[in-house]
Structure 1
Amino acid sequence: MESTDRDFKHEPSSRALDWVLRQAGPGSRLVQATRLKGGISSVVFRLEIAIDNQAGNCLWVMRIIQNEAWIKEEPNLPLHEKAALLAACEAGMPAPVWIASDPDGRECGYPAVLMSCLPGTVILERQASSAWLQALGEAIARLHRAPAREMAWHYFTYVSLDALEVPAWTEEPSAWCCILDTVRGPRPEYTPCLIHRDYHPANVLWAGGAISGIVDWINACEGPAGIDTGHCRLNLVQLYGVQAADDFLEAYLAAPGASLLAADPYWDMLCLVEVLPGPPGVYKGWEDLGVQGLTPELIRRRLDEYAARLAAKHKKYEERPLEHQD
């Protein structure tokens, strides 16, 4: 692959832009390219394209996947994202519309995906409001209840569970021990559905006080609904604390179409262990989006509190009368 990240500091490489303009058709030209903030595994640009005989300019988004380790691990990423976008749109979600893919980077230098640009901006509130959390919960419940096409990609954990150990940085070792024992044990039964797989506030766009779009579908697959809620809760814990994560889950479970199986703390635990081995740090994407005041120490305390809460919840969950465990 010939391109380097330096090529993408301000706009895609000339060969990538040539490919984009071929998708737009003869007479098209680039008006502006803006690199979007927040991503760490790929470079994403907002492209404004002028097209002959078309009133108004066209707004597209281009993802260039330059992380070679990720490409090696999953060589079909552009095809994965194409399938995910098609499935999400078919399910009625406010997702980008797929336009074109360069699966092996033959045209662009790196694998790339071209899609429509959604309206709105990411809003990371200083304090998570009830309305904001409710909207986040209702949006992902809408995905879980929607019938969707069968996906060739299925959920798997990003970490080797058997290799994980209680983190050296924790002040709640017994809670983490409980969590590791639980996630290594039997997995609860679930009904697979289409999941985003990376659902969190930085992948949600807002306009006029409402959610206008959900982006970054490249990891979407069939899997347990609790992975979406668990991953979002993990992000909310670090951003705002445990109470915000609990309020989000409550809003999700009350939403039409929510999977009540997501209430099982197993899924939250399975998402939580993906922060290991640590130690915790501040996600650069949040800083790029203007979040201030987070420190590794604050995040460590919040993760420990969350671990202790999940361990206690798991114990109560296991002690429920059998007739209430369906």
Structure 2
Amino acid sequence: MTEHGEAAAVQPLALAWVERHLEVGEQVVRAEALHGGITAEMRRLTIGTRDGGTRDLVLRTFVDPSRVECAEDSLSREAGALTLLAGTGVPAPGLVAVDPTAAYCEYPSLLMTHMAGRTVLDDEGLETRVPLLARQLVAVHAVRPAERPRKYVALTTADTVVTPRGADAAAWAAAIDVIRRPVPSYEGRFLHRDFQPGNVLFDVPPSDPAGARITGVVDWAATSWGPADLDVAHCSVNLALLHGPAWGLRFPEAYEEAGGMLAAAASERLYWQVRDGLAFSEELQLVAQPWREAGRTELTTRVVEERLDAYVTALMDALG
């Protein structure tokens, strides 16, 4: 989904910076604002080439003052991840340039190649896409960087969880007690840390939803080192909120069917699943807004609250 005009305009310094990284004779001829991001503004830039054709790049810009303070770390990590992934089979954008401290642009920015495909958030075809998501995540976790990224950051604590209105109080109290336990031991893996349907691009033939294939994985700004269970848990809760709790419970199975390895003990799996599930309790309104903008207008904050409650309760019933 895109917008045109003033909202998509590139700041003058950023435009000059972008054009310094183009081929001789190329120039930016069009900018479109891309929706769906939470932490940064995204624009697709159409580049006019010397032969009269075009190619596309993507500009990520941290503008919100509350986000700018973490921009240097996020953009530096993303640049490092894109450089690393260029030598793997994981379909990720190519790094063109990065200005993490706004030395040249108005705001911290990163320029990368544009990837074909689109995000697909509809229920239709989900039974085909979930195994594809699982296989892609197994491939991400198979990456072995020469230098590990930073350790994962837990996104919630037992004291900051926000229990939804009307939730199963006993189930939530038990879930909160789970994340009070010591962190289980784990074998570290390269994590995307925000692997979910909104960050995966698909090519879906209009006449054959079962013929879907993944064309790209984007938004590598939170890459970390930690347990595979954590990335699986994050995708699981996104699927639960988008498509219903049963799909959240299904994803770990799909990941193992694709060859992935999760924690052996049920108590350890529960810890990671619950930890990431409870983290969503603090930002449901923020999470649901891009989904509504993408066309899932029925996913009001109240609906995702109810789905999160049902998912957490189901986790406690299944593994608790």
Q: Same fold (TM over 0.5)?
A: yes
Q: Which moved more, 1:33-42 or 1:280-289?
A: 280-289
Are residues 1:183 and 2:173 paired? no
Q: 1:131: Cα distance to partner?
A: 1.0
Encode CA deviations 1:8-42: one digit per residue, 9 max, x unaligned. 71221121111101000443211211111101221
The partner residue of 1:250 within 236, 249, 253 is: 253
Could you tell me how far apart the structure 2 residues matched to 1:293 and 1:168 are? 18
Contact 2:117 2:202 in 1 (8 A): yes
Pairwise mapping of residues 47-66 of structure 1 onto structure 2 (< 5 A)? 47-52=45-50, 56-66=53-63
The partner residue of 2:102 within 102, 105, 113 is: 105
Query: Do the aligned partners of residues 10 and 314 (structure 1) sit closer, same or farther apart at CA in structure 2, a change above 3 Å counting?
Result: same
Determine helix, strand or coil for the equivalent of 1:75.
helix
Q: What is the TM-score with the length of structure 1 in the denominator?
A: 0.87
Determine helix, strand or coil for the equivalent of 1:261.
coil
2:9 matched residue in structure 1: 11
Q: Percent identity?
A: 29
Determine helix, strand or coil for the equivalent of 2:273.
helix
Pairwise mapping of residues 17-166 of structure 1 onto structure 2 (< 5 A)? 17-52=15-50, 56-73=53-70, 75-127=72-124, 129-159=126-156, 161-165=157-161
1:215 matched residue in structure 2: 218
- Provide the alpha-carbon RMSD of the alignment: 2.2
Q: 1:103: Cα distance to partner?
A: 1.5
Q: How many aligned positions are there?
A: 306
Q: 1:129: Cα distance to partner?
A: 2.5
Pairwise mapping of residues 197-236 of structure 1 onto structure 2 (< 5 A)? 197-208=193-204, 209-236=212-239
Query: Do the aligned partners of residues 242 and 65 (structure 1) sit closer, same or farther apart at CA in structure 2, a change above 3 Å counting?
Result: same
Extract unaligned runs of 5+ from structure 2: 205-211
Encode CA deviations 1:97-149: one digit per residue, 9 max, x unaligned. 11100121121110000111111111112346311111111111111123233
Contact 1:130 1:247 in 2 (8 A): no
Q: 1:217: Cα distance to partner?
A: 0.8
Encode CA deviations 1:40-76: one digit per residue, 9 max, x unaligned. 2211111111233x57322111100112222324532
Q: What is the TM-score with the length of structure 2 in the denominator?
A: 0.88
Query: Do the aligned partners of residues 182 and 91 (structure 1) sit closer, same or farther apart at CA in structure 2, a change above 3 Å counting?
Result: farther
The partner residue of 1:268 within 269, 273, 279 is: 273
Could you tell me how far apart the structure 1 residues matched to 2:160 and 2:232 are? 22
Encode CA deviations 1:210-247: one digit per residue, 9 max, x unaligned. 00001111111111111111111111111111111122
Determine helix, strand or coil for the equivalent of 1:260.
coil
Extract unaligned runs of 5+ from structure 1: 1-6, 316-326
AA partner of residue 186 (structure 1): P
Contact 1:38 1:285 in 2 (8 A): yes
Query: Do the aligned partners of residues 25 and 85 (structure 1) sit closer, same or farther apart at CA in structure 2, a change above 3 Å counting?
Result: same
Could you tell me how far apart the structure 1 residues matched to 2:286 and 2:99 are? 34
1:323 matched residue in structure 2: none
AA partner of residue 261 (structure 2): S
AA partner of residue 27 (structure 2): R
Encode CA deviations 1:232-286: one digit per residue, 9 max, x unaligned. 1111111111111122222111102x12228712111110121234676761111
Q: 1:313: Cα distance to partner?
A: 2.8
Could you tell me how far apart the structure 1 residues matched to 2:13 and 2:71 are? 24
Could you tell me how far apart the structure 1 residues matched to 2:242 and 2:188 are? 29
Contact 2:288 2:301 in 1 (8 A): no
